[in-house]
Amino acid sequence: MIKNTSSNQYYLKEGKIGFLLLCLFILLGISHPGKSIAIIPQPQEVKMGVGAFKLSAKTKIYIPKEYADDLKPYLTSKLKTDLGMDLQVYSGRKTGSNHYILFEKSVDISLPSEAYQLRVDPDKIVIKAGDYAGMFNAFQSLRQLIPVGASGEINIPVLAINDQPRFAWRGMMLDVSRHFRSKEFILKQIDQFSAYKINKFHWHLTDDQGWRIEIKKYPKLTQKGAWRADREGISWWQRSPAMAEEPKPVGGFYTQEEVKEIIEYARIRNVEVIPEIDVPAHSKALIASYPELFCFEKSNFEVAVGGKAPDNALCAGRENTYQFLEHVISEVAALFPSPYLHIGGDECDKRNWLKCPHCQITVKDQQLQNVEELQSYFIQRMNAIVVSKGKKMIGWDEILSGKGAKGATIMAWRRGMHSPEIDAPRSGYPTIMTSFQHSYISQVQGPNELEAEGPKGIVTLSKLYNHEPIPQELTKAEADLVLGTQACLWAEFTPTPEHTEYMLYPRALANAEVAWSNPAVKNWSRFQSTVEDHFARLKRDDINFSRSLYSIYGSYALDKLNQKAMLYLLTEAEGYTIYYTVDGTIPTSNAMRYDGVVALKPGMTVRAGLFDKDGNLLSSKLTELKLK
């Protein structure tokens, strides 16, 4: 037991004493006080107490005056939505003697930015933080202590939380070029991200399939570049290119006023919005709008409709390319308060540069060795432009090629043949980990046959959750250059808002915990149980989340010698039971139970599902195998 001398209230912490107390609770028939705690991301330290604070319509809330303009309307709105209560929020000094919630600005230097202390006593709740971000994060933890659907007088368990983020960069990237998403949809996701302490929204605004941000100096970027021919219903990689005479009804863009509205909405929610203008490649929509920026004269293009987009790189040798981009960056930089501006720099097909007279003259004049160094020349000029606008440049890890781009921040996404997660910090670059193997949630999250079309890879909830962003090979000094981690949702295979959410959730919650919580407090079993509790919150917030956690991965091997088929059924979810049938019928909890590899006769049709202890089928997506 840990005694807090200021209130005669006792708290217990995990450890031997906590275990003995748990045993005592069980013997006495008392519920373990930590059982109802389901906070994502997991706080760094939780001390459970005994008893509860009774939240009611009479509870008063006090917040510092300096944060009242932003925090008061947000608190009022969320408490109304969560509880149906119109609680009174006051700014300034506390006047009541008991039964209140107090947000208190602390001068404690041990509380870094975004950190907080949350203490629940029977007569009061006190939140301490050194800044607005810490208070906002504390409120998200407090919200998660309130059961979904609760009304009337609500019991919040007595506890004490000391919490701070592991990483300053806790990001989510959303691609709105491949499939445009409305302003309202973006606001909804930012609100949801912030509820889980995600604090960076990386907005992929331009690519081959659409330019999504208004640039006043270059109106054709949205007049033409934001619209493409309709190929919906055709597989992404099988779409034929658009013809000039075709209607271009698919697309959309954000006006600068809408961008400002989104940024302000995000600011109140402690979310920084980072824009990405992807160049020199991934620029087919830009080139379609302004073909004079291409390597060769008299070229006419249409905005890509999907699949491969050849000839999508800007000319790196034309001076007007850099003049054009400087005007674009100038408008974008003026719109976004973030100190960062992402310029892409990835997957550049340089074959046209080899044949382009402008590019080859630049290679010669700048004494470059090859087109790899020409890309470095391009990136370095972009970096100078970005810096001149008072911003820091971010690029995908391809910008390390050639001579690199000193002063830039690297998003390390490639793995395998490339090792930017090691090379970038070792070369002194601030680095954000965005591993395509673990954090690209455009990949499906369950067996391919049970999911909609997507890339071949699978990033399950547990795979993302169990990923460690910092490589063991890094020294402490190198590891200190890792700013954080980010999950990325590319939009080739998310044609609808509903499917976009399906791919985001609940994996965004796993990403939030990877980015916030220290490895020592992470635990898959605990997270699985907690995220299942949060399904009710996602449903309340009208989020179309995936239940692929409950999918079954089925395979078999033929034993030709004994004329048997050896059946293998696996699931990432713990604590549940697989039942299966061999005649193609839908399994129930009365079917055969799978307890390990089983030998069956070839020719049977196996159907399997995952069930809870009450016999409920957890996912309607059944695994089916024909043992041929």
Report the percent of the chain where pLDDT is more than 90: 89
Beta bridge pairs of residue 400: none
Give residue 108's pLDDT. Answer: 83
Q: What is the mean pLDDT of residues 314-332?
A: 98
Query: Among this protein's residues, is 358 annotated catalytic?
Result: no
Q: What is the mean pLDDT of residues 560-581?
A: 97
Side chain identity at residue 276, one-letter code: E
Side chain identity at residue 492, one-letter code: E
* Closest by Cα among 180, 186, 176, 306 to 251: 180
Quick check: 14 pLDDT over 50? Answer: no
What is the per-residue pLDDT across 78-113, written as a single tens digit (0 to 9) for each?
Answer: 999 999 999 999 998 888 778 999 999 998 888 999
Give residue 581's pLDDT. Answer: 98
Say which of 347, 480, 498, 559 is annotated catalytic.
347
Using an 8 Å Cβ cutoff, are 133 and 270 in contact? yes
Quick check: 115 pLDDT over 60? Answer: yes
3-class SS at 348? Answer: coil
Quick check: 25 pLDDT over 90? Answer: no
Using an 8 Å Cβ cutoff, are 226 and 251 in contact? yes
CA–CA separation, 171 vs 511, rounded Å?
A: 8
Distances in Å between the Cα of 289 and the Cα atoms of 184, 202, 250, 300, 349 are: 27, 24, 16, 9, 20
DSSP 8-state symbol, 217 = T
3-class SS at 39? Answer: coil
Q: Please state whether the predicted TM-score (pTM) of the whole model is above 0.85.
A: yes
Q: What is the mean pLDDT of residues 422-451?
A: 98
- Alpha carbon 423 to its chain centroid, in Å, reads 24
* Closest by Cα among 335, 330, 367, 374 to 351: 374
Say which of 202, 282, 342, 438 is annotated catalytic.
282
Quick check: 15 pLDDT over 50? Answer: no
What is the per-residue pLDDT across 246-278, written as a single tens digit (0 to 9) for each?
Answer: 999 999 999 999 999 999 999 999 999 999 999
**Is the pLDDT higher at 538 or at 19?**
538
The upper half-sphere exposure of residue 498, i.e. CA atoms within 13 Å in the direction of its Cβ, equals 2
Give residue 349's pLDDT. Answer: 96
CA–CA separation, 589 vs 581, rounded Å?
A: 10
3-state per-residue secondary structure call for 529-551 = HHHHHHHHHHHHCCCCCCCHHHC
* Closest by Cα among 524, 525, 529, 500 to 514: 524
CA–CA separation, 482 vs 471, rounded Å?
A: 10
What residues contact residue 82 under an 8 Å CB cut-off, 6+ apart? Answer: 143, 146
Say which of 207, 214, 272, 492 is annotated catalytic.
207
Give residue 12's pLDDT. Answer: 53
Give residue 17's pLDDT. Answer: 39
Mean pLDDT (the chain) is: 93
Name all domains of the chain by residue range, CATH numbers in brackets.
38-163 (3.30.379.10), 169-548 (3.20.20.80), 551-626 (2.60.40)
* Closest by Cα among 77, 135, 133 to 104: 135
Using an 8 Å Cβ cutoff, are 72 and 89 in contact? yes
Give residue 298's pLDDT. Answer: 79
Using an 8 Å Cβ cutoff, are 221 and 262 in contact? no
Q: Give the start-end residues of each E strand in 13-133.
A: 45-55, 60-63, 88-91, 100-105, 116-120, 124-129
Give residue 20's pLDDT. Answer: 44
Give residue 151's pLDDT. Answer: 83
DSSP 315-329: -SS-HHHHHHHHHHH
- In this structure, what token pair is assigned to residue 549? 């956690």
Query: Among this protein's residues, is 86 annotated catalytic?
Result: no
C-alpha distance across the termini of the chain, in Å: 61
Q: What is the mean pLDDT of residues 359-387?
A: 97
Q: What is the mean pLDDT of residues 59-65?
A: 96
Name the helix (H) or strand (E) containing 385.
Answer: helix 371-388
Quick check: 16 pLDDT over 90? Answer: no
Give residue 249's pLDDT. Answer: 98
Quick check: 531 pLDDT over 50? Answer: yes
* Closest by Cα among 40, 13, 264 to 137: 40
Query: Among this protein's residues, is 347 annotated catalytic?
Result: yes
Give residue 602's pLDDT. Answer: 95
* Closest by Cα among 166, 382, 187 to 283: 382
Using an 8 Å Cβ cutoff, are 568 and 622 in contact? no
What is the per-residue pLDDT across 128-137, written as a single tens digit (0 to 9) for each?
Answer: 999 999 999 9
Lowest mean pLDDT among 11-20, 274-283, 305-314, 572-581: 11-20
